[in-house]
Amino acid sequence: MFQTPSLVVLATLAAATPAQEPQQHEPWIFKVQRGDGSWSASAVPKGVEAFSPGSATDDVVVTSLVTLSCLGAGDTPSVGPHHESVGRALDWLLEEQADDGRLAATTSPTFLADHAIATLALSEAAYLDGGSRYRLAAKAAVSYLERTPLEGGGWSATGAADGAIDFRSTSWATLALASARDAEIGERPELIAAAAWRLRQEGTRIEDRPPREVAFELLTRLIAGESTSASSEFKDRATKLLALPIAWTEDGKGFDPERVYVQSIVAYQSGGELWKRWQKTMKKTSVDMGKRETQRLIVDADLPGGSLAGYAYSALTLEIYFRYARVIGAR
């Protein structure tokens, strides 16, 4: 197991199945959950080393990501040793939701992606738990996404209809719509194909786009039904992307766990040699990340949500690796 204490507890969540006995000790992540059910991105947990805080506007996305990692580990609002914590987190999201369905602060520079991740959390809760209250909230959040796409497909970072295409926002919005399709609460599944087509057109050659954007592009196209077995162009693009090393920051103290998660879904869904090779990259990154002597942070300081979001992304990645994931994109 890895050495970073805060990663160990989320890795434990990721490796757990619903059939396992409850843990004897409360995991760290639930000890830092606030009384209202949310997690604070800006607070630095006491006694946790190498922690990079996010901003106050990241609370929605952090709470949603941690909730997704719990759902993937088998805890729903009604099932699992941590069901009460999951239920409180989801209830907090419901309290935060605006009348028009919005789930994130419009002041956030990553508003649309924040909203899409929170929408995904509610939709997955509705899909896995079946609670009508989550379905209603998820449906309202999905409706907001369905009203805000760009002309020609995809979404902007701010949700503005006249904004520039944003790969990250588009990919998360597509994941949320795919989950809504599974939960039978979406009304415009055709937006998934439109988003995939738009990112494919924007993507051009892999050398012309940052690896992070290529990862979001390929994930969106996968969700829309493309695959390495059906498209040689897609396979070539995925092969080149997954062959790239995971770059640490210049000071050697952080990397981009969101990109690792997205690429892990792409590799897992592609299967075969791509998945086998990618597993080696995941293992090495995880081991390097957990070395105490390097004092490495889990995230690049620019990642929305800071270290807490990074821990959640890493848990979701481990859930794919251990094949216990139930959340959209890996099931």
**Alpha helix locations (H) across 97-148?**
111-129, 132-147
What's at 47, amino acid-wise?
G
Residues 192 and 174: their CA atoms lie apart, in Å, by 6
Residue 331 lies in a domain: no
Q: What is the structure's pLDDT at 15? A: 39
Residues of the chain with pLDDT > 90, as a percent, come to 55
Q: What is the structure's pLDDT at 298? A: 65
Q: Give the pLDDT confidence of 83-104 residue by residue, as tens digits.
A: 999 999 999 999 999 999 999 9
Residue 65 lies in a domain: yes
Residue 50 lies in a domain: yes
Q: Could you tell me the pLDDT band of residue 311, with boundaries at 50, 70 and 90?
A: confident
Q: What is the structure's pLDDT at 56? A: 82
- For the cut 70, the answer to whether the pLDDT of residue 3 exceeds it is no
Identify the CA nearest to 309 among candidates 3, 67, 19, 134.
Answer: 67
Q: What is the mean pLDDT of the chain?
A: 85
Residue 327 lies in a domain: no
Residues 313 and 327: their CA atoms lie apart, in Å, by 13
Q: What is the mean pLDDT of residues 154-160?
A: 95
Q: How buried is residue 276: exposed, middle or buried, by Cβ count under 10 Å (0-12/13-18/19+)?
A: exposed
Q: Give the pLDDT confidence of 60-83 residue by residue, as tens digits.
A: 999 999 999 999 988 999 999 999
Between 47-56, 120-129, 202-211, the lowest mean confidence (pLDDT) is in 202-211
Residue 330 lies in a domain: no
Distances (CA, A) of 202 to 179, 216, 238, 241, 314: 24, 12, 16, 16, 28
Residue 326 lies in a domain: no
Q: Give the pLDDT confidence of 7-22 residue by residue, as tens digits.
A: 333 444 443 434 444 4
Residues 279 and 69: their CA atoms lie apart, in Å, by 19
Residue 223 lies in a domain: yes
Distances (CA, A) of 65 to 69, 116, 190, 258, 285: 6, 11, 26, 11, 20
Domain holding 182, by residue range, is: 5-321
Please tell me the pTM assigned to this model.
Answer: 0.89
Residue 45 lies in a domain: yes
Q: What is the mean pLDDT of residues 202-231?
A: 87
- For the cut 70, the answer to whether the pLDDT of residue 4 exceeds it is no
- The CATH number that applies at residue 81 is 1.50.10.20
Sign of the Cα pseudo-torsion (298, 315, 237, 221, in order) = negative
Residues 87 and 79: their CA atoms lie apart, in Å, by 10
Number of domains within the chain: 1
Beta-carbon contacts of residue 63 (< 8 Å; ≥ 6 apart): 37, 38, 39, 89, 92, 93, 118
Q: Could you tell me the pLDDT band of residue 205, with boundaries at 50, 70 and 90?
A: low
Residues 169 and 177: their CA atoms lie apart, in Å, by 12
